[in-house]
Structure 1
Amino acid sequence: MRPHRFAVVLAAAALLAGCANNDGPTPPSAPDAIPLVATDDLPAAEGDEVHLFAFNDLHGNLQPPGGSTGKIAGHDAGGAAFLATHLARLRAAYPAGAVVSVGDNVGASPLVSALFHDEPTIDFLNNIGVTASAVGNHEFDDGVVELARIQRGGCAPDGCSPGAPFTGAAFPYLAANVTDAEGALPPQLRPWTMLDVGGHKIGVVGTVTQETASIVLPEGIRGYSFGDEVDAINHYVPQMRAAGAETVVALLHNGGGQRGDADALDYNGCANISPDVATVARRADPAVSAILSGHSHQSYVCTIDGKVITQGASYGRLITDLTLRFGSDGVHAAAVNRVVTRDVEPDRPTEDLVAFYDEQSRPRAQRVVGTATNPLPRAAGAAPTSPLGDVIADSMLSATAGDHPVAAFMNPGGVRADLPAGPVTYGDIFTAQPFGNQVVTSTLTGAQILRLLEQQWADPAEPTVLSTSGLTYAYSASAAPGAKVIADSVRIAGQPLNPVAAYRIATNSFLASGGDGFSVFAEGRDNVPGPSDLDAFEAFLNRNPTIAAPAARVEQK
């Protein structure tokens, strides 16, 4: 629910020594020097060779993603029907192979999947034969109860989706580092699984970023903790070895990235890789031959401390082709990222699946709900807040008028896409605000609001500046922690903030529960739930059919 940090949250260590490219060319100096590696001219399999075909962070992108998120090194990439075709090519070339995912299969998804609780995406993953997946942080967006339903099947609480009955994920979701006070995993999940591929047993263990605890709705994961990922992997290695695993592959939903000119970075390179990637490889048990990572939406292929560690970007644009060679001297791993190009024949059953749900979603998606006089970007511009986030905050304040709030707050990570100028459709606002939170009103004192504003700089290197409605203030980025906000600049409902006064405020249920690290929201009294955030936004657009970016409400001094 907040932008990815593009770094692992494990303790960093220094280290790039020992990091080298694996089966990939030297990082080029210009984008046109990056070779296209897809599924043409696949080398013949050698004896006693097993392949795992991995992808990560699909996020329900069944249709080809657009813009820069639909390209790899300048090549159009992604789309479920093309992903299925490339996987079929790989499986034909390497029959001793299996498909795995590194999490965030669902969540923050486009309308064609999200409108149906991401069931279409799970059906797609079943169809392409995924054998195991790590949980990602977005698998927890709707809590452990909904994740259990995604695993086992059955109708959602608000009814069944169209099409065939939903039977759940045919593959196990793996969550080795997610436990309750008794050490039990969430219902229906397991820590590891054993794959028998080409006559070889491969232990596959899955983990999710520890950051999950602060970036999903706290109520949905209450009672569960997210432990150190590498400790969890190492903990289960003896179990897997005792069960006959010849080697272990970790599906780690956390990752780093190469550093440098983004346009010149080779998706099969390991250029100036972030130190946390090396830390993970070095801490992992020697029995782990490969670590397939995710979360940061980056691409890399490295060999560090004798282990292959990779990531395949996001949205189904790359397939990581991991080769495991079993010999008398042990297991040797190598990997290459292959581009999911769109110049192949799309898989027809996948096209039919996507077309069915697209048709089911179209009447709602195309319904016009308002008009924007100018584009409303999700990203901050001249002001430190998102213009679209400011409008969403306005909609929450308007939707709860009967409870008399005087200010509203919106988190930047909850705004997932821009709104275009011109007619705004339901599909546009769903894509921009896909999480399905409720609007909540509660009471905070003026002193609590000041502490809340200071929490925006809990991480000084990456502040999380909330969009506001009914509240303005100025801050100094150079001021000491705890004193960033210029106290006498704060105005609420047009009046100076009174530290001892009580104020009704509105926000979404994610923040109200203390999400994104804003623990002050959880101190609120007399909480009253309201409409869903999406319904509030649609109603606001209906009442204000022409909207524009508001004037800045937060000023940097």
Structure 2
Amino acid sequence: MNGRRRVLGLCAVVLSVGLVAGCGSGGQSTAPATSTAVPLVSTGDLPAARSGEVHLFGINDLHGNLQPPEGSNGKVGAYTAGGAAYLAAHLARLKAAYPDSAIVSAGDNIGASPLVSSLFHDEPTIDFLNTVGVAVSAVGNHEFDHGVTELRRLQQGGCATDGCTPGEPFTGAKFPYLAANVTDANGQLPPGLRPWTMLDLGGHKIGVIGTVTTDTEHIVMPEGIAGYRFGDEADAINKYVPEMRAAGAETVVALLHDGGAQQARGPVDYNGCANISPEVKALAHNTDGAVSVMLTAHSHQAYNCTLDGKVVTQAASFGRLITDVTLRFHDGKVDAKAVNRVVTRDIQPTPASTQLVDFFAGQSKPRAERVIGNSTAPLPAEPDPAGDSPLGDVIADSMLDAMAGVQAVAAFMNPGGVRAGLSGGNITYEQAYTVQPFGNQVVAVALTGQQILNLLEQQWDNVSKPGVLSVAGITYAYSDGAPKGHKVIDDSVRVGGQPLNPSASYRVSTNNFLAAGGDGFTVFQQSHETLVGPIDLDALESYLRTHAAVTPPQSRVEKR
């Protein structure tokens, strides 16, 4: 998604399967004696390496979480987890125990990141990954948030268009990015990307291939990926298996920025495989048997499966878990197994990583702590029963307010663009940035009343399945049981309190991601005009500054 946008409302997905529980953060890493939580597996008691054995240490969906994530985002079940300096310390412990090893990532290292990383174009996160010695990474959809040109800069180094980041000159990623299923009309990958690479560990050659979810074309800014298609992942992997074999690969490891979740009752075992999603099974089933390990991502879940003879895993998100993969070569064969290890905070953090994070945290602090408004109560990002969210509706209010000068009468906000809720009371710039980290432009487009009706119907007939839009200036009701194309109830739509006229023209406000057809809302592209306003975060700040304390709005959508 440019997850912006996107995708599954990741924190909600994590909570829905019970991986993350509890609030707060701290150093406690073991569950109470009376807890029914899954037992802790970390790096404190590592078995000795065996002959012919090599290890891969997998991470995914770091999303620039350099500082220890807070609340439920900093938990794995009952255990407090995450933080770059702790992740580095656990990786160092693993590398010391298993020197024939490499660190790999399944993508979304960056994007939708906290201020400490995103304020500096995510260069701090790339620097951190270089510091710990990442050997290779798949691209995630968020690697395309700012298009293929910016992705190339993050690989090769140099200053961003608005200047250089404080600190040492940015030299780019020291590891290759893999994108086997991303091609243009001529079958060529974006500049600087590769389909696969070879790792030589302990005298054994391991082919590593990377892919990204096919949904990417719907969940990142269309102009940033213009001309590229995101093909079937299994087909792309299978295409390159003979090439890797011919180059001497004894086995193949796939880094897939795609995944699913366990469906279990009660506490979810982060090393379990309870009723795993069918899409994960399909990926394993459709992928060549030469692939022994599939490190997945994107859904921010944890699981450890054996499917169709392949080890298939995911390490949650935000640097809270490390997947420790063991490959044992013997008698011309390769045996694979894996274990997800918790990145606890009861370990001495790595000084170099601590210094890096503290530097950029200091650089961002003056802006981060600035109070820009307040609310009378929490503003959740989670949807109300009808589907819109209180905070999403407030953001829609800010976009409508920003385009009032051009007579916008309604506004639409995509649920995937609301990345976190607000807790109530004073709202700082950092909190607002966490809510809207993408830097989208507020725009106004002209749609007929009929096109607005078609847009609302697209919420249920959409390849991206983004969910219900939050709105301002417009109210309506829908029937969830009605057939697609007929969900919106006749005569229920009101704009400015007046019945919608299908023949009239209305100017509506949104962000440029949606206006370009993002999240599958192609009706926006039928507009005959586009008027450009401020950056979305600036619009929200202006709205909060010029209004009294915000009260959580009632839902503007009715589900019947």
TM above 0.5, yes or no, is: yes
Name which of 425, 428, 431 aligns with 2:428.
Answer: 425
1 CA distance for matches of 2:435 and 2:549?
17
* Structure 2 residue 360 is matched with structure 1 residue 352: no
CA shift at 1:282, angstroms?
A: 2.0
Q: In the alignment, is the contact (CA less than 8 A) between 2:115 and 2:430 conserved in 1?
A: yes
CA change 1:257–1:31 in 2 (3 A) is farther
* Structure 2 residue 551 is matched with structure 1 residue 548: yes
Aligned to 2:534: 531
Name which of 100, 121, 125 aligns with 2:125.
Answer: 121
Where 2:529 maps in the other structure, the secondary structure is strand
Aligned to 1:24: none
Where 1:195 maps in the other structure, the secondary structure is strand
2 CA distance for matches of 1:280 and 1:511?
30
Aligned to 2:437: 434
Aligned to 1:134: 138
Name which of 389, 396, 406 aligns with 1:393.
Answer: 396
Where 1:487 maps in the other structure, the secondary structure is coil
1 CA distance for matches of 2:445 and 2:281?
45
Q: In the alignment, is the contact (CA less than 8 A) between 2:9 and 2:419 conserved in 1?
A: no
Aligned to 1:299: 302
Aligned to 2:93: 89
2 CA distance for matches of 1:478 and 1:249?
44
Where 1:92 maps in the other structure, the secondary structure is helix
Where 1:489 maps in the other structure, the secondary structure is coil
Q: In the alignment, is the contact (CA less than 8 A) between 2:414 and 2:466 conserved in 1?
A: no
Aligned runs of 1:228-307 on 2, under 5 Å? 228-261=232-265, 263-307=266-310
CA change 1:463–1:49 in 2 (3 A) is closer
CA shift at 1:36, angstroms?
A: 1.1
What is the identity, as a one-letter code, of the residue corresponding to 2:92?
Answer: A
Higher deviation after alignment, 324-333 or 47-56: 324-333
Where 1:547 maps in the other structure, the secondary structure is coil
CA change 1:69–1:404 in 2 (3 A) is same
1 CA distance for matches of 2:489 and 2:460?
13
Aligned to 1:43: 47
Aligned runs of 1:450-469 on 2, under 5 Å? 450-458=453-461, 464-469=467-472
1 CA distance for matches of 2:358 and 2:263?
39
CA shift at 1:6, angstroms?
A: 9.3
Q: Percent identity?
A: 65
CA change 1:405–1:539 in 2 (3 A) is same
Aligned to 1:515: 518
Aligned to 1:443: 446
* Structure 2 residue 358 is matched with structure 1 residue 365: no
* Structure 2 residue 500 is matched with structure 1 residue 497: yes
* Structure 2 residue 421 is matched with structure 1 residue 414: no
Residue segments in structure 2 that go unaligned for 5+ positions in a row = 11-33
CA change 1:141–1:463 in 2 (3 A) is closer
2 CA distance for matches of 1:191 and 1:333?
23
Name which of 172, 175, 179 aligns with 1:168.
Answer: 172
Name which of 60, 65, 75 aligns with 2:79.
Answer: 75
Higher deviation after alignment, 37-46 or 454-463: 454-463
2 CA distance for matches of 1:480 and 1:243?
53
2 CA distance for matches of 1:377 and 1:465?
15
Deviation per CA, 1:273-296: give whole Å up to 9, x if none: 222222222221121111111111
Q: In the alignment, is the contact (CA less than 8 A) between 1:6 and 1:256 conserved in 2?
A: no
* Structure 2 residue 222 is matched with structure 1 residue 218: yes
1 CA distance for matches of 2:445 and 2:453?
16
Q: In the alignment, is the contact (CA less than 8 A) between 1:450 and 1:487 conserved in 2?
A: no
Q: In the alignment, is the contact (CA less than 8 A) between 2:462 and 2:521 conserved in 1?
A: no
CA change 1:5–1:430 in 2 (3 A) is closer
CA shift at 1:220, angstroms?
A: 1.1
Aligned to 1:16: none
CA shift at 1:82, angstroms?
A: 0.5
Where 1:210 maps in the other structure, the secondary structure is coil
Q: In the alignment, is the contact (CA less than 8 A) between 2:181 and 2:232 conserved in 1?
A: yes
Q: In the alignment, is the contact (CA less than 8 A) between 1:317 and 1:340 conserved in 2?
A: yes
CA shift at 1:2, angstroms?
A: 3.8
1 CA distance for matches of 2:187 and 2:6?
30
Where 1:428 maps in the other structure, the secondary structure is helix
1 CA distance for matches of 2:386 and 2:301?
28
Aligned runs of 1:23-42 on 2, under 5 Å? 32=36, 34-42=38-46
Q: In the alignment, is the contact (CA less than 8 A) between 2:206 and 2:253 conserved in 1?
A: yes
Aligned runs of 1:196-215 on 2, under 5 Å? 196-215=200-219
What is the identity, as a one-letter code, of the residue corresponding to 2:420?
Answer: A
What is the identity, as a one-letter code, of the residue corresponding to 2:551?
Answer: A
Q: In the alignment, is the contact (CA less than 8 A) between 2:106 and 2:140 conserved in 1?
A: yes
Q: In the alignment, is the contact (CA less than 8 A) between 1:473 and 1:553 conserved in 2?
A: yes
Where 1:251 maps in the other structure, the secondary structure is strand
Aligned to 2:151: 147
1 CA distance for matches of 2:466 and 2:481?
13
Q: In the alignment, is the contact (CA less than 8 A) between 1:31 and 1:265 conserved in 2?
A: no
1 CA distance for matches of 2:409 and 2:9?
36
Where 2:270 maps in the other structure, the secondary structure is coil
CA shift at 1:417, angstroms?
A: 0.7
Q: In the alignment, is the contact (CA less than 8 A) between 1:369 and 1:545 conserved in 2?
A: no
CA shift at 1:487, angstroms?
A: 2.9
Aligned to 1:195: 199
Deviating 4+ runs (over 3 angstroms): 2-7, 459-463
Where 1:481 maps in the other structure, the secondary structure is coil
* Alignment coverage as a number of residue pairs: 534
1 CA distance for matches of 2:205 and 2:95?
18
Where 2:491 maps in the other structure, the secondary structure is helix
Where 1:122 maps in the other structure, the secondary structure is helix
Aligned to 1:14: none
Name which of 53, 57, 60 aligns with 2:61.
Answer: 57
Deviation per CA, 1:244-270: give whole Å up to 9, x if none: 111110001111121112x42211111
Aligned to 1:340: 343
Deviation per CA, 1:470-525: give whole Å up to 9, x if none: 11111111112111111311111222111111111110011000011100011111
Q: In the alignment, is the contact (CA less than 8 A) between 2:6 and 2:519 conserved in 1?
A: no
Deviation per CA, 1:529-549: give whole Å up to 9, x if none: 211001111111111142111
Q: In the alignment, is the contact (CA less than 8 A) between 1:6 and 1:257 conserved in 2?
A: no
CA change 1:354–1:33 in 2 (3 A) is closer
Residue segments in structure 1 that go unaligned for 5+ positions in a row = 8-29
1 CA distance for matches of 2:463 and 2:172?
42
Q: In the alignment, is the contact (CA less than 8 A) between 1:490 and 1:496 conserved in 2?
A: yes
Deviation per CA, 1:32-86: give whole Å up to 9, x if none: 3522111112111111111000111111111111112211130111110000000
Deviation per CA, 1:293-351: give whole Å up to 9, x if none: 11111111111222111111111111000011111141111111111111000111111
CA shift at 1:3, angstroms?
A: 5.0
Deviation per CA, 1:152-184: give whole Å up to 9, x if none: 111111111111111111100100000111111
